[in-house]
Structure 1
Amino acid sequence: MTHDDIIKITQTAESAVLEFKETTGQLERGMETLCAFLNARGGTVLFGVSDSGRIKGQDISDKTKRDIVEAIRRIEPTAPIEISYVSVLNTDKFVVALKAEELSYLRPFTYKSRAYQRIESVTTAMPQEMYNQLLMQRGGAYCWEAMTNVNLKIENLDENAIMGAVRAGIRSGRLPEATIREEIPAILEKFNLLYDGKLNNAAVVLFGNKFYDYPQCLLRLARFKGTGKEEFIDNQRVQGNIYKLLDAAMAFFFKHLSISGKIEGLYREEELSIPYKALRESCINAFCHRAYGYPGSSVGIAIYDDRVEIENTGTFPADVTLEKLLKEHHSKPQNPLIANVLYKSEILESWGRGIGLMMSECRRVGIPEPEFHTDGSFVWVVFRYEEENTNKHPTSIRQAPDKYPTSTRQVKTLVELIGEDMFSVKELMGLMQLKDRENFLNNYLNPAIEAGLVAPLYPENPKHPKQKYHLTEKGKE
């Protein structure tokens, strides 16, 4: 830094990135401000300049330099600070400039074990809540998903969900076959969810079955009448692990979006108003990359007559602009532990290509590409479409007036899938790519049986080991 640089800088007032101190006699306050700059966008502290910006300079001795270096060493974690001693013209005095660059991936910084923040031109102690949030954003052992909960027990997890993830991982070749024979604790250690006998928060998000201490494991679902939020057609709240919430989200889309499809062999190719794969990928991103550290946070899905909005707490990675996001880019998951398990269990198909998949799927069916938005606290995706018969707002699908009053879109999907065949619950869930048995029974199979459209092969023994389901005459009609 040169004398001309100092003159240029001092022509501006103190700000969120600039602080003046008359001498290093105020070194402590200057270092607190430098710490605050590191916790934000970076900035410069000048010693030898008055509050008004007049360049006065000061004497510099070896002790002064040692004191400055020693003070910088008290900033944690270690940060590269540029130190400049700039001579003041026609004097034997100097201006000391300490410059800090933005290092968002290392925040929060502390000086003498205390964190500071900068608000306009004022430096204050950082609130504990903000410090904790920055710690979680730093990642590693400090991020929310990696924090252990000593009160969390393996019995608080859903063993069926864990083994389902293992089977999917083996089927996809992402886990060795021997994993299926391992005990649950060993599997959780392999997934990096159990360390030194303690479970971390990611274990609950992925496989939890009790959520008293985890209100953020929540999905809000709404179908609005028209294009605004004035009137609900359907309003639901579902709490559960990622696999359960993903199933609930997709079931909600099948319930409220127009659907058409055809059967090819055993598999049904269904087309929603918005492509199934695009919606599913967007939901996976919302569950995988959201900021879980806020207890009151959730994922929200809102369906309108002309669009679907999917939102979650969080933001884009600091160095990934919206322009980069829409191109092929490297994946930087907010929650790498959660993302790793979802990848191994075949929920995440690839890294960094999800947005490209959403865009190509929308182009394929001729609807606008999805819109991506963030305000620094939330991320939301908007899919726009033209809904058929938007004035009817059906909450159920009927073959004829009042004919099958309980026949929802899920039931219609199930009936068309079964056709002339017979399937077990496991086979049906596999064909429909559903993983939550409870959701399948409550929203698909049981309503179809109650409507008289589907019947079990062994009605007198519901738990028969060879139980399968077929259409009744009513269902075939």
Structure 2
Amino acid sequence: MKTKAIRESLSLGEGQSVEFIPDCGNIGVIGQTVCGFLNTSGGYVVCGVDDRGTAIGVEDPDAMGKSLEQGLQQGLSPGALVAVRAYEVEGKALLVIEVPAGKDLPYAFENVIYLRTGQTTRKADVETIRDMVLRKQVEPERWERRFSSADMNEDLDLNEIRSTLKEVTASGRFRFRDSDSPTAILEDLSVSRYGRLTNGGDVLFGTNPAVRYPQVRVRAAVFRTDKTGDTYQDMKSYEGPLVPVLEDVYSFILRNTPTVSRFRPTDLKRQDEPFYPSGAVREGLVNAFAHRDYSDFSGGITVHIYPDRLEISNTGRFPEGVTLAKLQKGTLSVLRNPDIAHVLYLRGYMEKIGRGSILIQRACTERGLPLPQWSEDDRGVTLTFFATEVTTEVTTEVTTEVTTEVMQIIGVLDGEMSRRELQDVLGLRNVEHFRKAYLQPAIQEGLVEMTIPDKPRSSKQRYRLTQRGLVLRGGESS
């Protein structure tokens, strides 16, 4: 297999610079090449391919990948988001290092600045370095790097810092100088300087950054019809540290979209899956959080769920160098918020810097859904997932499964109701019988949900129909 076929197999973006290196253990050569890509327009380093363009493979790619990430982390200055991923091409394990164009020029590897010229990497001359430094002084500091007004003693979410430390340490991608010091951890992640939190650090680790920056709130809504402005079936506003908010929004999408049941030939058990591929939805959400324009105080992220589609929108235009055509093919770009993206990558939320769009398209195709679409206008960028005939498929699947008791609770549940209200409407007195025969099966089938799922025994607990429950009751979401 020659280099062109390898590029195609790895879905490397057209027009992107690619360097093939046979020896993954040569961190010196790899680091110089990565540094050159950072200082120019980005590119890919593919390890495990010889000078003739033949894939020779990499031994123990997982261990080698972690070793490369740590070596690059220690050698590069300033720190940069460089993703290392293992792939298999015709039975050979290859390591691909994805390098976006850097935003903190000039970058150095082991205190030497390198540039990429055509297909070669060279040391930068004095005039080029001088030009880089002057340009950096002229360009305004990006929003995520500016200092936040957050108080490091009062406004930090220490649980988020601990969670990040645990996940990053377990991944082996990064080494912290002092795991016992929250301040040192934030400095190592480049979200704190001189004892002050940056805006990026506030978004990631502030207890409630929305107090200082209302544009970080995320709004999610479910519509009964395909027209915005019609009656909301469900609507929420989320605020807090970035990752917990991302997870809450993801859960909102899951509970407000149907579940599809499938029987695979090799498994007699039914497999329940979210209607929209979960990996594609997560990738779309992560991209919205990582690439949005946080400096726009009137902006934000919105999620709109309609009977026939799911829309994830964020403020800001496409990142530099990205067009609709390139996005569909996968392309590396200048990251709008590299510090935020770096933390997401280290925590395992962002695996592909420039090819997440390919993952999203592939997942939808494998699920038998139409290809998703990206669009751009003055309000921002929107990723739209399209459904097929949801109502027929979901109704057929659930009507053959549910009991008469579950159908009764679905028939009387109006808006949000308490357990006592439901029992009264159904004329049932025995609490235990109601829970076991009616309420619990309805929740387990995904037809009814709690309004406070984290506190199932709360005195303020209410119950409501999910989208599947509404469909089963009579197509109210269609």
- State the TM-score bracket (shorter-chain normalisation): 0.5 to 0.7
Partner Cα distance (2:343, 2:390) in 1: 38
CA distance in 1, matches of 2:139, 2:443: 44
2:368 to 366, 369, 390: 366
Structure 1 residue 283 displacement after superposition: 0.6
- Alpha-carbon displacement from aligned partner over 1:357-380 (angstroms, at most 9, x marks no partner): 110100010101110011254000
Secondary structure at the residue paired with 1:155?
coil
Identical aligned pairs, as a percentage? 29
Kept in 1, the 8 Å contact 2:178–2:184? The answer is no
What residue identity is the alignment partner of 2:196? K
What do residues 240-272 of structure 1 show as CA deviations (whole Å, max 9, x unaligned)? 22112211211111211111468999xx97521
Q: What is the match of residue 205 of structure 1? A: 203
Deviation at 1:390, TM superposition (A): 7.8
Contact 1:305 1:387 in 2 (8 A): no
**Does the 8 Å CA contact 1:225/1:233 hold for their aligned counterparts?**
yes
1:355 aligned partner, one-letter code: S
Query: CA separation of 1:377/1:227 partners in 2, compared to 1, >3 Å: closer, same or farther?
Result: closer
Aligned partner letter, 2:364: C
Q: Is the 8 A contact 2:280 2:363 kept in 1?
A: yes
Q: Any conservation in 2 of the 1:174–1:345 contact (CA below 8 Å)?
A: no
Are 2:446 and 1:446 equivalent residues in the alignment?
no
Give 1:199 shift: 0.9
1:355 Cα deviation after fit = 0.8
How do 1:44-63 residues align onto structure 2 when only pairs under 5 Å count?
Answer: none
Q: Alignment partner of 1:446: what SS? A: coil
The residue number in structure 1 matching 2:329 is 327
Mapped contact 1:166–1:175 kept (Cα < 8 A): no
Give the distance between the partners of 1:215 and 1:287, measured in 2 at CA: 15
Q: Secondary structure at 1:373's aligned position in 2?
A: strand
Distance 1:448 1:282, change over 3 A: farther
CA separation in 2, counterparts of 1:370 and 1:412?
A: 34
State the 1:279 CA deviation: 0.8
Cα deviations by residue, 1:140-189 (Å, 9 ceiling, x for unpaired): 8711000012453243121111111121112222123x668331000000
CA distance in 2 between partners of 1:313 and 1:274 (Å): 23
Q: How many Å apart are 1:315 and its aligned residue?
A: 1.0
2:383 aligned residue: 381
Give the counterpart letter for 2:455 in structure 1. N
Partner in structure 1 of residue 42 of structure 2: none
Superposed CA offset, 1:370-429 (max 9, x none): 1001125400011100353389999xx99432179679xxx9899589xxxxxxxxxxxx
State the secondary structure of the residue aligned to 1:216: helix
Partner of 1:278: 280
Q: 1:270 to 1:184 in 2, by over 3 A?
A: farther
Matched, 1:169 2:168: yes
Structure 1, 325-334 or 188-197: larger mean CA deviation: 325-334
1:160 aligns with 2:169: no
**Using a 3 Å threshold, how does the CA distance of structure 1 residues 318 and 349 change in structure 2: closer, same or farther?**
closer
Are residues 269 and 335 of structure 1, via their aligned partners in 2, closer, same or farther at CA, if it must alter by over 3 Å?
farther
For residues 416 and 298 of structure 1, do their structure 2 counterparts lie closer, same or farther at Cα, with a shift above 3 Å needed?
Answer: same
Question: 2:456 corresponds to which letter in structure 1?
Answer: P
Write the mapping of 1:209-288 to structure 2, written as runs, cut at 5 A: 209-210=207-208, 211-229=210-228, 230-260=230-260, 270-288=272-290
Structure 2 matches for 1:9-408, cutoff 5 A? 142-176=141-175, 181-210=179-208, 211-229=210-228, 230-260=230-260, 270-386=272-388, 388-389=390-391, 399-402=406-409
Task: Report the Cα distance in structure 1 between the residues aligned to 2:375 and 2:233, rounded to whole angstroms.
Answer: 26
SS of residue matched to 1:308:
strand
* 1:139–1:147 distance in 2 versus 1, CA, 3 Å: farther
Q: State the SS of the aligned residue for 1:383.
A: strand
Deviations 1:183-217 (A, max 9, x none): 10000000001111111100111111123111011
Equivalents in 1 of 2:188, 2:261: separation in Å? 40
Q: 1:263, 1:139 → 2: CA distance? A: 60
Q: Do 2:288 and 2:313's aligned partners in 1 also have CA atoms closer than 8 Å?
A: yes
Aligned-partner Cα distance in 1 for 2:215–2:138: 19
Q: CA deviation at 1:282?
A: 0.5
Q: 1:333 to 1:401 in 2, by over 3 A?
A: farther
Q: Is the 8 A contact 1:305 1:386 kept in 2?
A: no
Q: Distance in 2 between matches of 1:290 and 1:260?
A: 31
**Relative to structure 1, is the Cα distance of residues 318 and 157 closer, same or farther in structure 2, using a 3 angstrom cutoff?**
same
Equivalent position of 1:113 in the other structure: none
Where 1:202 maps in the other structure, the secondary structure is helix
Q: Secondary structure at the match of 2:254?
A: helix
Structure 2 residues not aligned, in runs of 5+: 1-102, 105-135, 419-439, 464-478
Higher alpha-carbon Rg: 1
Alignment of 1:404-415 (within 5 A): none
Aligned AA for 1:444? P
SS at match of 2:374: strand
What SS does the aligned partner of 2:407 have?
Answer: coil
**Residue matched to 2:125:** none
For residues 209-232 of structure 1, give each alpha carbon's deviation from its aligned partner in whole angstroms, at most 9, with x where no partner exists: 123111011111110111112221
Asked whether the 8 Å contact 1:273–1:386 carries over to 2, the reply is no
2: CA distance, partners of 1:341 / 1:180: 17
**TM-score between both structures, scaled by the size of structure 1:** 0.53
Higher RCO (CA 8 Å, separation ≥ 6 residues)? 2
For 1:302 and 1:155, locate their aligned partners in 2 and report how far apart those are by CA, in whole Å. 34
